[in-house]
A and B are shown apart, each in its own frame.
Chain A
Amino acid sequence: MIQLELVKKVFPNTTVPAVDEVTFSINKGNICVFVGPSGCGKTTILRMINRLVEPTSGNIYVDGENILDVDSDELRRRIGYVIQQIGLLPHRTIEQNVGLVPRLLKWSEAKIKQRVMELLEIVGLDPVETAWKYPYQLSGGQMQRAGVARALAADPPIMLMDEPFGAVDPIVRGRLQDEFLRLQQEVKKTICFVTHDINEALKMGDYIVVMNMGKLVQKGTPMEVLSNPANKFVKDMIGDDRGVKLLDLTRAESLMTAVTEGSAAARDCSCFLDAIQPVKMALEVMMKNDSDVVGICRGKEVVGTLSWTEIKKHIHKISGDQE
């Protein structure tokens, strides 16, 4: 668990705070995404959590412990850090880079080797091909994945990830996001994730913290932020397709009309969708099958129907809230 209490940072020789009295907490096992324009203080917040930057005022607690009471090197070995500029050691191989923290923690060489190979696999780098290369022999995207592997190496319960997928193309980024979310299902780490891409924030975050000019503008679940943007700044950042983005986060089951298996309504459906799929998928299925209604299933059983009219009504309702 990570807590920030009225944390403020004014860098030397500047007048405007880079981070201005920010308060929030992240529960164990959750991903909190910081999103906001360049220079709004996202990186500074991360770097205060692992004490690379000391706050001007305010308190930070990690697992209930004030971080000022922990030796800073020890704290950092417990917190995985993916830095924005990647920062692999140029004179060390990828194997040595990824094994850096385990070596600092004095793991056995055999265990380190095994762990590095496992991690390279996880982040989608060929272990045999990549382990002995130097960073300059990798592409930007591959270096970034090595950076993620390095941060995960010692299996730290907390991760700070500063635009970890910034240097890869949208398709690979989407895949890395999916893989990471799947990994997170297993490892349940407490993650601070920085991005300036609102779509990435909505996809990755259990919570989102929207920042602007050092100030916390809004915090909440993606659903809360989407359906109730705190102000024009948040609304503009989400963009004009707020309704569609919401449909991506809304499960089909939450809008459907419940029917019983075998009823006339259920039998009329020509296409089907799993109940936990987003409403956006329902639209996709309807379009593909040239149908106005889709049957919603749990397992093999049809439990509801969702029609184009119902979806339209829902969009109108949110858009109505908006004005």
Chain B
Amino acid sequence: MNFELERFVEAMLDRSPPYILEHLQLVLIPLGIATAIAFPVGVLLTRPRFRRYTGRVMSIFNAGQTIPPLAVIAVFFPFLGLGYWPAVIALTIYALLPIARNTLAGLAAVPREVKDAARGMGMTEWQILSQVELPLSLPVVMSGIKTSAVLTAGTAALAALVGGKGMGAVIFAGINFFRMELILAGTIYIGIIAVLLDRVLTFVEEKMTPSYMK
């Protein structure tokens, strides 16, 4: 495989940019859905009534991350076929674990005596959750979302393999036509997207972290 600077510049400036938004969507939509599932489930699993399911549910999330997204797509292929939405589903399943795990960890780290005092003052279970436990654990939850975001940014490249669009299309075109410049350009953009997401979410995380925890 050879490398021509001119083609590389063209790949960076013309071929890849149209896929940036597509790729970002491919990260943010699964991330949003995964958060909408894993966060409430994580909260429920710390409530006395559901605590006994924690082991089972977490091993499902664990499997979601251990099984490669492509295998997930293969499993769902008979029902969903190929394309954008199967890719979104596979990426969502992949992103669940860090968010759920950090939700559990964040809630578990709320000091016992703080919850105890809140209860002793006559706060209801809902008030304790919404006014004490969640504010105190949100920074940890955010860092789980960040981990998932960075993970998904990379993995989303595979979506192109099943017709799911994204920056992966550039990379796989490069592989198919033996064009190093395309592979490199696609990889660089995915890297930039991952770093950018990391920066933005780190900023949000810091905004959420109250001064006493820093």
Contact = CB atoms under 8 A, between A and B. Distances in A.
B120 A83 contact: yes
A52 B115 CA distance: 11
Contacts, number: 66
A91 interface: yes
B120 A91 contact: no
A52 B132 CA distance: 18
B114 A90 contact: yes
Nearest to B114: A87
Given A91-B135, A134-B211, A81 B120 contact: yes
A89 B118 contact: yes
A280 interface: no
Contact of A77 (B122, B136, B210): B122
Contacts of A52: 116, 119-120
B207 to A, nearest CB: 14
Q: Interface residue tally of chain A, by bracket? A: 20 to 34
B212 interface: yes
Contacts of A125: none
Interface in A65-109: 73-77, 81, 83, 85-91, 100-101, 104
Interface string B144-186: 0000000000000000000000000000000000000000000
A15 B38 CA distance: 39
Nearest to B132: A89
Contact of B121 (A85, A101, A136): A101
B167 to A, nearest CB: 40
Interface in B98-157: 111, 113-114, 116-124, 127, 132, 135-136
A135 interface: yes
A91 B210 contact: yes
A286 B210 CA distance: 60
A73 B116 contact: no
Given A85-B113, A87-B114, A89-B114, A134 B120 contact: no
A136 B113 contact: no
Given A135-B212, A136-B212, A87 B124 contact: no
A60 to B, nearest CB: 16
A306 to B, nearest CB: 47
Give the one of B117, B124, B127 with max A CB within 10 A: B117
Given A88-B117, A89-B117, A90-B114, A104 B211 contact: no
Contacts of B120: 50, 52, 76, 81, 83, 87
B121 A77 contact: yes
B113 A83 contact: yes
Interface string A9-49: 00000000000000000000000000000000000000000
Contact of A87 (B117, B122, B135): B117
Interface in A186-219: none
B69 to A, nearest CB: 37
Nearest to A100: B121
Given A73-B124, A134-B212, A90 B136 contact: yes
Contacts of B210: 90-91, 134
Give the one of A86, A87, A100, A136 with max B CB within 10 A: A87
Contacts of A81: 117, 120-121
A104 B120 CA distance: 12
Interface string A144-156: 0001001000000
A83 B116 CA distance: 8
Contacts of A147: 117
Contacts of B122: 73-77, 101, 104
Contact of B123 (A73, A83, A91, A136): A73
Nearest to B210: A91
Contacts of A50: 120
A249 to B, nearest CB: 33
B109 to A, nearest CB: 12
Interface of B: 111, 113-114, 116-124, 127, 132, 135-136, 210-213
17 contacts: A52-B119, A73-B122, A73-B124, A77-B121, A85-B116, A86-B113, A87-B113, A87-B116, A87-B120, A88-B114, A90-B114, A90-B210, A90-B212, A100-B121, A104-B122, A134-B210, A134-B211
